Every structure is written in C-alpha cells, then in structure tokens.
Amino acid sequence: MTTSPNAPQQAQEEGRDDALPISGMRLASAVLYVSDLGESIGFYRELLGLEVVMGTRDAVLLVSDAGSELYLRSLGKGDPCEHDGIGVQSLIWTAPDISALHHCEQVLKDRDGYLGTESDDGFTWAEGRDPSDIPVVVTYLQLDETARRRIIARLSTQ
C-alpha cells in the first residue's frame, strides 16, 4: 500500500487525528512491581547507573542521565498485584558502548542473576534476572542504526 505524500496535509484539512505521522517515539518510563524495594534499588543503580530522584515508603523513581525513568513499586506478601501477571514481562535497556554491556554482564554475574549473552542481526544482548526474578535484558547495537527492522528469531513464534 502506498501513501500519498500529501496524506498528512489532507488529513489535517479534514480534521482527522492521523494528520501528522508519528516519528521518534521513545519509551519514557517503565513500572516494575518488586518484592524487595531496597535490594531492587541497589541492583538497578549498580547495573544501569540510575539515580533515585524521589520516593515513598512503597515506591521510588530512578532516572538515568539520558532521562530514562524506572518506577519501582514494592509488593509485600499478600499485596494485590493489579495486573495478575499481565504487563511488563522484561525490560530491555540499551548500553551506549560494549564496555557498558560488559559492566552489566558482570553485575548480573556478581548477583547470581546472569543467564547468558548472545548476538544476532548486528546486536548483542546480556540476559539476567533482577532480585525479584524479573527478566532483564541489556543490549548493545553494533550497527549504525537506531531501530530494529525485524523481530529476532528467538522472539518470533515462527
């Protein structure tokens, strides 16, 4: 299907919501329910260099120098989980260089959460688990591109 180069202008003139193409969308933040807030704060500070910017007894906001936000919410025993397992299944972070990826591998190993490192289609990723057994993936893109063009084979159902 081809789209006319005038489609955004036509949509705007017709008052439709699809008036302008959306580009440059980025994930701004993520929310994780964790079993031990203190342990999780230490883990994400060490793994990703995040800093605590605000918090309460049950929740904290960590932010990277690039503006990524991670909210951690403590769920004690018996606390209801709003989504019953539906929601974030893993977090994928992007390392700025290969040495940062190696740092993350070492943190995961030191904390007995390391599962392995693999490479495919121009990028490398290290997988592990955080203190609440939540999957964590850190990638490093070797190619000079910022977006994936296909789903990697290990994540595809076919």
This model's pTM is above 0.85: no
| Portion of the chain with pLDDT greater than 90, in percent | 27
Could you give the 3-state DSSP secondary structure of residue 107? helix
Closest by alpha carbon to 23, among 155, 156, 147? 147
Q: What is the mean pLDDT of residues 105-125?
A: 90
* Maximum separation of any 2 CA atoms in the chain, in Å: 58
* Domain spans of the chain, in order of start: 27-76+88-155
pLDDT-derived band at 80 (thresholds 50, 70, 90) equals low
Instruction: Work out the average pLDDT over 8-18.
Output: 55
pLDDT value at residue 158: 31
> In sequence order, what DSSP letters do the residues of 77-96 get, joined into one string?
TTPPPTTTT-S---EEEE-S
The answer to whether 62 and 50 are in contact (CB under 8 A) is: yes
Q: Are strands 91-94 and 135-141 parallel, antiparallel or unpaired?
A: parallel
User: What Rg value do the Cα atoms of the chain yield, rounded?
Assistant: 19
CATH architecture of 27-76+88-155: Roll (3.10)
